[in-house]
Structure 1
């Protein structure tokens, strides 16, 4: 039985208008990390996760204003199974709102399209293993701004060719190149042709390689974002900063490949 008062007594609940976006982000995170951490603060929510090899890390920031309702009155940190949560969120419909309410030992998850409400209850597994997640403060020499649709299409068009993604660029172009047994494929995003919205480059001529799988994990969140800031530099992790119309922001880091 779902006892609503049990969850609300802690004052820890929120309603997000875009359940499908949450589904995409949690599904993508579950592909490289078994667990994640929800940090609920009075003015914002953070979702963070890192993979065991420390190749990839995600931080999803949602300001209080992005929620339809947001009621954490105290700060709380909750560790969750990304795999278990993803299974539930996959049932989110296109027009569903998502409500999550936290008790001491479980989470109540609701989907509502204004007509039908579906409810799930998920236990908090207190014994769940979790990684310490570092804070990254990297000064990137190169930043490119592109729409989510364009970057999604670029990754989708080259991801099947190989398992290595080479990223290079100059003051006006960003090149994505996939290399593998099937050969090579490349996409060039140009400022002059209006594909890139902005380019801020202090290290032209850079080239760095990443595992293409880790970038492909984020295709759905990328497509649902308004724009993506691609931050990159020689020997640095790539950072994709996904910006959403609600004011939410997702930073996704992938470490470079070592030859």
Structure 2
């Protein structure tokens, strides 16, 4: 049994949108201290690590750990009907075993959703040593990714002590985007040793586009030809982190 209530539907809707980029069926852990999700996309190229402590919720009642598996796209349909300052309550209906979604604001409405079988897979956090840590604005990063998308479907990110370079090359055009340390877009850059790695632009752009609604700041960590970790700093407490496997270039 659980009862979770957020006072601002937009907060829940933005987070559900970010999660939906990678997974259609999400298995949340509802624990006494908060809501958690760690999952990989079907192709196992990307991973999401999400946490909301109970302090984010207006009301949080989960005395016993449980799992909640649902179709995120279907939940989003309901959340899109809720206004910015309307409250959303999620609870389990004892009799039907379905999820109850109650939206209250100008008027009240109640929806029910069938639950799915929870995944038993435990996805571990990747244990990776990173040589690069770049703190960027989500706007600046998003614009750089959009520039690279004009010419290719993948981008190489190259980090040196004073700059971050994104380069993309297609059959007709090429693009090089240089972001200097200390600029409006690149707030900080820590380089243990220069590194470069290539990533899918379709994944990167979708992740950044969706997560930017929840955060103004993104921190990228990577090493040569290793996965990139993108942590989106939350305005409230909580964690929203993505891992994306590199595209290995063949000579």
TM-score range, shorter chain: 0.7 to 0.9
Q: Aligned-pair distance for 1:158? A: 3.2
Tell me the matched-pair count: 246
Q: Aligned-pair distance for 1:150? A: 2.3
Show the counterpart of 1:256: 246
Q: Aligned-pair distance for 1:231? A: 0.9
Q: Does 1:142 align with 2:132?
A: yes
Show the counterpart of 1:36: 26
Cα distance in 2, alignment partners of residues 188 and 20 from structure 1: 34
Cα distance in 2, alignment partners of residues 36 and 75 from structure 1: 16
Show the counterpart of 1:6: none
Show the counterpart of 1:47: 37
Cα distance in 2, alignment partners of residues 152 and 93 from structure 1: 26
Cα distance in 2, alignment partners of residues 41 and 80 from structure 1: 17
Is residue 79–residue 130 contact of structure 1 (8 Å, CA) maintained in 2? no
Q: Where does 1:90-239 land on structure 2 (aligned, <5 Å)?
A: 90-103=80-93, 105-112=97-104, 114-126=105-117, 132-204=122-194, 206-218=195-207, 219-239=209-229
Relative to the length of structure 2, the TM-score reads 0.86
Relative to the length of structure 1, the TM-score reads 0.84
Instruction: Say if 1:190 and 1:98 are closer, same or farther in 2 by CA, change over 3 A.
Output: farther
Unaligned runs of 5+ in 2: none
Q: 2:71 aligns with which of 62, 76, 81?
A: 81
4+ residue runs over 4 A deviation: 128-132
Unaligned runs of 5+ in 1: 1-9
Cα distance in 1, alignment partners of residues 102 and 145 from structure 2: 33
The 3-state SS of whatever aligns with 2:130 is coil
Instruction: Say if 1:94 and 1:136 are closer, same or farther in 2 by CA, change over 3 A.
Output: same
- The RMSD of aligned alpha carbons is 2.3
Instruction: Say if 1:153 and 1:90 are closer, same or farther in 2 by CA, change over 3 A.
Output: farther
1:35-77 deviation line (CA, Å, top 9, x unaligned): 2210111112112221122101101111121222211111112
Instruction: Say if 1:119 and 1:160 are closer, same or farther in 2 by CA, change over 3 A.
Output: farther
The 3-state SS of whatever aligns with 2:212 is helix
Instruction: Say if 1:186 and 1:110 are closer, same or farther in 2 by CA, change over 3 A.
Output: farther
